[in-house]
Amino acid sequence: MDPTITWENQALLSNDVAVQYGIDLSARTTNLAALPRRVWGRASRMFADQYALSARLELDVQHGMDRVDFEVDGEDEENDLKARVLGSAAVPRGIRGLRSARVHHLEFTKGFDNDGNRVTVNPRYNVHHNHADVLVTYDADDTLIKVTASQDDQTVTISQKLNGENMISPTIGRDGSLSLAWDRKLGEDNSIRTTLNPNRSIDLEWRDAAWTANVNFPMDDDDLRGATVHIKRDIKF
């Protein structure tokens, strides 16, 4: 086990700029140089009460500190439109460092309201793998339908609320693959999600307020010796 302590904080600066920042620390190391794992910061601002823009920078301290990952999000509330750009850049050393920025992922989300129902169209493009797909969702009260389509694959997920505590979500792929997820609310800020991937694995995610536990059971000839468990807790000061 390699537990990590997460610390984060936020502040409101002048000109309505909101700032969030944090650091991940190793809970087991005795080496001060290996104590910090990840440092990040985000700045956000609203313009004309309609447009929102935010930028997030993240530095992996344990991998050379020679690259910073960035995320830029924009939103036009009136037109129900969102955009996101993900990428990385070398740690700036003058103008040359700034020119090394590369975009890895692009996506847009456009929403529509239809007689009380919600439709979203979300085209995405992964620059690294030259892969594009489109996610279309249709939200109608207790039923949520998601269709993901690309040149290579198509999947359909239909989520159905059974009652206030339970929801099931089967997913079917074009190749005939099938998975089934069951979400159950156990109380306030407490829920468990079980996902069955036939002939592959059973995954459980249990959220209890600040605690999150993930368990993966590989399905290989009924042998569960390869099961993995990951537990984390968010700590805010």
* pLDDT recorded at residue 211: 87
Q: Residue 119 class from Cβ within 10 Å (0-12 exposed, 13-18 middle, 19+ buried)?
A: middle
Residue where a domain stops, chosen among 140, 167, 194: 140
* DSSP 8-state symbol, 96: H
Tokens describing residue 133: 């797909």
Question: Chain centroid to CA 97: how far?
Answer: 28
The sign of the dihedral angle between the CA atoms of 1, 234, 14, 53 is positive
Same domain, 161 and 119: no
Tokens describing residue 166: 């339970």
pTM for the model stands at 0.75
- The answer as to whether 146 is a domain residue is no
* DSSP 8-state symbol, 99: T
> Domains in the chain: how many in total?
2
Residue with tokens 């109608």: 140
Q: What string of pLDDT tens digits covers the 237 residues of the chain?
A: 566 777 888 888 877 899 999 988 877 766 665 678 889 999 999 888 889 999 999 998 877 678 899 999 999 999 999 999 999 988 765 544 445 788 999 999 999 998 889 999 999 999 988 999 999 999 998 899 999 999 888 999 999 999 989 999 999 998 888 999 999 999 888 999 999 998 888 999 999 988 899 999 887 655 656 788 888 777 665
Domain region containing 178: 151-237
For position 13, which CATH number holds? Answer: 2.40.128
Residue where a domain stops, chosen among 90, 109, 140: 140
- The answer as to whether 145 is a domain residue is no
* pLDDT recorded at residue 81: 96
Residue 145 CB-half CA count within 13 A: 7
Residue 213 near residue 231, CB atoms below 8 Å:
yes
Tokens describing residue 79: 């037109």
Same domain, 231 and 206: yes
CA-to-CA distance for 72 and 107, rounded, in angstroms?
A: 11
- The answer as to whether 161 is a domain residue is yes
* pLDDT recorded at residue 97: 47
Residue where a domain stops, chosen among 100, 121, 140: 140
CA-to-CA distance for 169 and 145, rounded, in angstroms?
A: 9
